[in-house]
Structure 1
Amino acid sequence: MIGWLRTGLFIASGFIATILVSVALIAVAGFRPNSPALDRILRWWSRTWFRLGGVEFSVEGAAVDQSRSYVIVSNHQSNFDIMSSLLSVPVPGRFMAKKELYRIPIVGSAMKATGMVKVDRSQHGASVHAQLTEEATANTKAARSVIVYPEGTRSRDGRLMPFKRGAFAIAIAGELPILPVTISGSYAAWPPGGIVRGGPIVARVHDPVETTGLAKSDVAALTDHVREIIARDLADLNSRL
């Protein structure tokens, strides 16, 4: 019972912080849509959630060339992965987010104002792919990376699920490098539908995977290759936590 009460207080406090941050994002984006202040606000928001949840976050792995834009690909075990993704890579990042999130008052407006990419998971086909590619490319032209969780949803048991190919097709179409990031510890800290326990979360940043010269026929192999990178290090990191 105490755990659920603590979780309820945590979510309520985090939601209040999210509303306040959303107002700030809308205000800043209204004056300067590409202001670096947007990313500082998003990282502050991430650290606030971690402090509220008792998370000790750390990053390890490859140095990131901050002059480039990426398709950042991570595994997805918990809502804490959102904060982990924003804090793990020192480049501006915008999420591919399901359209349902845009219905949240104020928060949805902030997502639109900051350039998040809306994804309708019920729609498929070439036209949808072209639209998502266009929006992702627009972000990279604005020196922002795109953050994607190719499993499509949070893992319900902490194990890595199959990867959907959409993000990899977009990366090839835009000749964008893929930056794999393995996140470990988030499932234990806050499993889907479960009690917030906090604890250590580690993000390991890998070397980028180049897509220049690849074609549509390479999407499946690229998807499998990146999944193997994340899966290998997920097992290693899990054994340490």
Structure 2
Amino acid sequence: MSRKKASVLSYLYNAWCVGWLVVIFLALYPFIYVCIRVKKWNRYGTRLTNLWADIFFFISGLWVKTEYRFRPDRKARYIFVANHFSYLDVAVGMKVVRNYFSYMGKSSVKKVPLLGYMFARLHIQVDRGDKNSRVKSFKRSMNALREGRSLFIMPEGGILSDTIPVMKQPFKDGAFVLAIDSNTPIVPISFLNLYRIMPGSFVFRGFPRVIVHEPVYPQGKTADELKQEVYTIIQTELDRYAHRHSNH
């Protein structure tokens, strides 16, 4: 296959993915809107975003392969913690995590029409450059955990690593302080190859591979000890995958 033909097919595939992502979102948005306007229905808004991810990944052919070394109890609360190398990570997180949960993510998402409103109502925005925003986000996160909702946090604080697939260190404190203060287990998640499928803003055909690890319990540990334990769990699998596929 020529480079020109391959390039044309790649652009067509990206148009296909983006088109379906938008179409599915717009089709579900009226129902999501109703759910996020009524607080007691918020959890159904989260389920609809799960459905959005399910439909999108099926139609796009990006079939997610998840190894569950631990099956989270959907009625329990956890703090899910994952590496962050790709813009695809958030969408895959919606596919993999089936608990009622909130992302803790950048406040810049609120600028996106419709999606920003949904994110602001279902999830927790934080401006890491604003101390007041960080304090408010921490309080909202604690309230969410008290209500029985799980959290999903990428503690690198963004796509910041200069040595992918090695994670950026040190992790931000939030997830680990929240785990200790609320006595909530952390469930590490390794996104093994998403940075290869979507290394920037361009999507390539492939099967996203994910590992959901056994929980890490905060009892008797400091935030730094939790950080190191979670880092080691996630990074070990990233290293193994990179080593196995180093010639691919």
Please classify the TM superposition score into its range, dividing by the shorter chain length.
0.7 to 0.9
Secondary structure at 2:76 match in 1: coil
Cα–Cα, structure 1 residues 240 and 201, in superposed 2: closer, same or farther, change >3 Å?
farther
1:196-235 matches, cutoff 5 A: 196-214=203-221, 218-235=222-239
Secondary structure at 2:63 match in 1: strand
Counterparts of 1:239 and 1:20, CA distance in 2: 41
Correspondence for 2:65: 58
Return the index of the structure with the highest Cα Rg: 2
- C-alpha displacement at 1:129, in angstroms? 4.5
Correspondence for 1:88: 96
Q: Which of 137, 141, 150 is the matching residue for 2:142? A: 137
Q: Is 1:175 aligned to 2:183, yes or no?
A: yes
- C-alpha displacement at 1:32, in angstroms? 4.9
* Residue correspondences, number: 234
Q: Which of 137, 157, 161 is the matching residue for 1:152? A: 157
Counterparts of 2:117 and 2:145, CA distance in 1: 21
Contact 2:138-2:174 at 8 Å conserved across structures: no
Q: Is 1:72 aligned to 2:76, yes or no?
A: no
Q: Which of 15, 20, 29 is the matching residue for 2:22? A: 15
Name whichever of 36-45 and 174-183 sits farther off. 36-45
TM-score (norm 2): 0.83
Kindly report the root-mean-square deviation, in angstroms, between the aligned alpha carbons of the 2 structures: 2.3
- C-alpha displacement at 1:29, in angstroms? 2.4
Q: Is 1:46 aligned to 2:50, yes or no?
A: no
Secondary structure at 1:179 match in 2: strand
Unaligned runs of at least 5 residues, structure 1: none
Cα–Cα, structure 1 residues 128 and 105, in superposed 2: closer, same or farther, change >3 Å?
closer
TM-score (norm 1): 0.85
Cα–Cα, structure 1 residues 34 and 212, in superposed 2: closer, same or farther, change >3 Å?
farther
Name whichever of 176-185 and 76-85 sits farther off. 76-85
- C-alpha displacement at 1:50, in angstroms? 1.7
- C-alpha displacement at 1:48, in angstroms? 2.9
